[in-house]
Amino acid sequence: MTGELGQLALCLALALSLMQAFSGFFGAARGNARVMAMGRGAALGSFVFIALAFFTLMFAYVTSDFSVMAVAENSHTAKPLIYKITGVWGNHEGSMVLWMLILGIYSAAIALTQPDGTHPNARLGSNALGVQALIAIAFLIFILLTSDPFLRLYPPPFEGNGLNPLLQDPGLAFHPPLLYLGYVGLSASFSFAAAALLDRRNDAAWVRRARPFAIAAWTALTLGIAAGSWWAYYTLGWGGFWFWDPVENASLMPWLIGTALIHSMMATERTGAFKSWTLLLAIAGFSFSLIGTFLVRSGVLNSVHAFANDPRRGLFILMILFVAITSPLVLFAWRAPKLAPGAAFDVVSRETGILFNNLLLTAAAATILIGTLYPLVLDAAEGIKISVGPPYFTATVIPMMALLAMAMPFGPMLLWRRGDVKASAYTLRYPFAFAVLALILALAIARPFSVLGAVAVGLGVWLIGGSITDVLRRAGDWRRLRLLPPTAFTSALAHAGLGVVALGVAGAGIWKDEAIQVISPHQTMQVGGYTLRLEGTERVQGPNYIADRAEITVLSKGQVITVVHPEKRSYPVEQQATTESAIRTTGIADLYIVLGDPRGGGGWVVRAYFNPMAPFIWLGGVIMALAGMTALGARVAAALRTRRQATGLAAEPAE
C-alpha cells in the first residue's frame, strides 16, 4: 500500500492545487473574501498531502520496500539508516518530492500570513497563492507523468542496487535541502511580483510581503552553497573547494540575483526607488532557479550533481521554464507603461550604491550563464565540444566581484537620496589604511608571490574593517554596541562575511602547498612545513564497505602533532571506490591528506595539501547566513509584536 498511498497523496495535492489556483485568482478578481479563504485552505491542504507523500516515500526507504522502483534502484538493506533517510532525495524522483514539499511549505507560509479578505492587501496575497499553485500544478504533473517516485516493480528484487557512495555522507542530510529551500524560496518573491503585476501595482506593499521570503531563500542558498563546497572539499579528495562546475554555477547564479533583489527591495521599501527593477529581479531570481533545475535534470550535463538523463524530463522542464519566464515578462511589458515610476535620488546617494551593486551582480550572473550554457548550445548546434573552465570565470567574474568589494563599504555610509562621498571616505580612512597595509604585507611575506592574492587579502580586510566601522558609527562607541537593534548588524555581518570568504579563497586558492609521493611504512614526506610519516595500513570492515585505512603521524619540528587516518573505501554493492580524506585544522589552516592507490613493496600513493586560511571560506559563509537570520528574525519579531498589539487593542472594551 505504500506506493498507492503516496500516489494518491500526490493526486490529491494536485486537485487541491487546482482549487488553490482557481480560488486565488477568482477570489482576488472579484474581491470575494470567502473564495480567497478557500484558496488559503487549499494551500494548507496541498502542503499536508505533499508531506504525506514525502514521508510515505521515506517509510518505503527505511523499511527497504523494494517493490517501489525508486527504492530498489537507490537503496540497499546494508545501507546505514541515516543514508536510507537522506537517500530519499539522493535521486531524481525523491528529490522532486522534496522540491514540492518545500514549495508547499512556502505556500503554506504565505497562506498563514495572508490577511483576511477585508484587508487592502488581501488581493495581493490571494494572487500570489494563485501563482504558487500554478507552479505546484506544473511540477506535480511533471512528477506524476515522468518522474513517479512510487512506481511498482514486480516481482520485487531481493536486494536493491544501493546508493552512489559519494552520496553516502552526512552532507546529503543538509546540502540539498538547504539548496532547495533557497531555490524554491525564490518562488515566493516571484509569486508576489507576478501578483503585483496582476493587481496593476508596484508599490512597497508587495515588497514588504515578499522581502522576508527573499531573505529566507537567500540565507538558505548561502548555507547550501557553503555546505556543498565543504562537502566537495572533504569528500572528493581533490583538496579544492570550487571548480566552476555547471551545476555549481547553477546554484551561484540565483544567489547573485537574490543578493541584488534583497538590496533593491530595501531601496523600494525605504524610499520607493527601483520599483520596476525590483519586479524584474524577483522574476529573474526564480527563473535562474528553474534554469538550475533544468541543468540538473534534463540530461544535458554529465556531472556528479546531475540526477537524470531522460530527454522527456528535460523537455518537460524546458516547457515549464519557458512559460514561467515569458509569462511574467509579457505581463510586465503590458503593465509597465501604467506602473508608477520609482522615486528620484541624487547621483551621490545610497540608492546609487545599490544600483552599482545590482548592475555588477546581474552582470556577473549573466556572465556565468553564458559560460555555462555556451558549450551546451555549441554542442547541440554544431556538434563541437568545448570546455569553459576556471580561466574564463576567473578572468570575467572575479574582476566584477573585486569592483563590488571596493564599493561595498561605502554603501552603508551614504544617506538615502543624498550622500557625501568625502565624508564617507573620511569615515573609512582606517579600514583603507589597514587594507593597504595588509596588501603590502601579503606581497612582502606570502609565497609564491601573487599580486592577485595580495589584492584579495586587501579587499578582505577592507570589507571587514568597513563593517566594523559601520557598526561603531551606528553605536557611537564600543560601550553602546549592546544597545543597537539586531538590524544594525545585518549589512555589517553580510559584508564582513564576504571579506572573510575573500581571505579564505586567497589562502587556499593561491598559497596552498601540495605534495604527492609514494611512501612505504615508516617513510616520510614533507608538505607545508609538516612531516608526514606512514606508520602502516589495515583493512577494516564498514557497514556496507571495505576500507584500507592508513595511520599517518604528523610532525612539526620533530614533535608529534597528531595522528590521522585517511581511508580508501570500496563499496561491493555499487562496485565503486571513494576516498575519505583526513583533515587536521587549526581554524586558520588545514592539513589535508588523501590515501591513493597501493604500490609494490607495501607502498602507497599519498597526496597532501597545506591550505592556509581555508576554514575562512566556510566561516565567512556562516557569517553571511547569520546576517540573513538576524534580518529575518527581526522582521518576524516585529510582526509578532504588531499582531500582539492589534490583538490587545481588539480585546479592550469600548468606552
Residue 578 main-chain phi, psi, to 5 deg: -135, 165
What does the buried/exposed string (b/e) look like for 297-330 if buried means 16 or more CB atoms within 10 Å of the residue's CB? bbbbbeeebbbbeeeebbebbeebbeebbeebee
Reported as a single tens digit per residue, the pLDDT across 324-355 is 999 999 999 998 888 877 788 888 999 999 99
pLDDT value of position 655 = 41
> Measured in Å, how far apart are the chain's first and last C-alpha atoms?
61
Q: Are residues 267 and 145 in the same domain?
A: no
The C-alpha cell at 46 is: 496541498
Please tell me the distance from the alpha carbon of residue 591 to that of residue 438, in angstroms, as a whole number: 24
Task: Give, as one character, the DSSP assignment of residue 343.
Answer: P
Q: Are residues 245 and 359 in the same domain?
A: yes
pLDDT > 90? residue 240: no
Does residue 197 belong to any structural domain of this protein? no
Look-up of cell digits 544501493: 162
Please tell me the distance from the alpha carbon of residue 403 to that of residue 296, in angstroms, as a whole number: 31
Q: Are residues 116 and 238 in the same domain?
A: no
What is the pLDDT of the chain when averaged over all its residues? 91
Reported as a single tens digit per residue, the pLDDT across 249-270 is 999 999 999 999 999 999 999 9
Does residue 174 belong to any structural domain of this protein? no
pLDDT value of position 653 = 54
Reported as a single tens digit per residue, the pLDDT across 450-490 is 999 999 999 999 999 999 999 999 988 788 888 888 888 99
Task: Give, as one character, the DSSP assignment of residue 414.
Answer: S
Instruction: Give alpha helix (H) positions in 63-170.
Output: 69-74, 81-86, 92-112, 122-146
pLDDT value of position 309 = 56
Q: How much of the chain exceeds pLDDT 90, in percent?
A: 71
Residues 6+ apart with CB under 8 A from 507: 453, 589, 611, 612, 613, 614, 616
Does residue 119 belong to any structural domain of this protein? yes
Q: Are residues 384 and 299 in the same domain?
A: yes
Domain finish residue from 350, 384, 419? 419
Domain finish residue from 419, 451, 484? 419
Please tell me the distance from the alpha carbon of residue 596 to that of residue 519, in angstroms, as a whole number: 11
Range from 159-173, 267-281, 380-394, 518-532 carrying the lowest mean pLDDT: 380-394
Q: Are residues 213 and 290 in the same domain?
A: yes
Average pLDDT over residues 521-529: 94
Please tell me the distance from the alpha carbon of residue 87 to that of residue 90, in angstroms, as a whole number: 4
Q: Are residues 507 and 522 in the same domain?
A: no
Does residue 451 belong to any structural domain of this protein? yes
Q: Are residues 497 and 544 in the same domain?
A: no
pLDDT > 80? residue 141: yes
Q: How much of the chain exceeds pLDDT 70, in percent?
A: 96
* DSSP count for the chain of H helices, then E strands: 19, 10
Task: Give, as one character, the DSSP assignment of residue 169.
Answer: S
Reported as a single tens digit per residue, the pLDDT across 165-185 is 888 888 888 999 999 999 999
Does residue 400 belong to any structural domain of this protein? yes
The model's pTM: 0.94
Q: Hey, is 523 helix, strand or coil?
A: coil
Q: Are residues 494 and 577 in the same domain?
A: no
Does residue 360 belong to any structural domain of this protein? yes
Q: Are residues 286 and 387 in the same domain?
A: yes
Domain of residue 14 covers 1-168
Distances (CA, A) of 329 to 116, 187, 284: 29, 15, 9
What does the buried/exposed string (b/e) look like for 336-350 if buried means 16 or more CB atoms within 10 Å of the residue's CB? eeebeebbebeebbb
Does residue 178 belong to any structural domain of this protein? no
Q: How many domains does the chain have?
A: 4
pLDDT value of position 163 = 87
Please tell me the distance from the alpha carbon of residue 252 to that of residue 289, in angstroms, as a whole number: 10
Q: Are residues 543 and 404 in the same domain?
A: no
Q: Are residues 69 and 142 in the same domain?
A: yes
Domain finish residue from 122, 150, 168? 168
The C-alpha cell at 440 is: 603590502
Does residue 155 belong to any structural domain of this protein? yes
CATH code (residue 5) = 1.20.120
Q: Are residues 394 and 519 in the same domain?
A: no
Distances (CA, A) of 182 to 170, 176, 221, 273, 527: 20, 10, 4, 26, 39
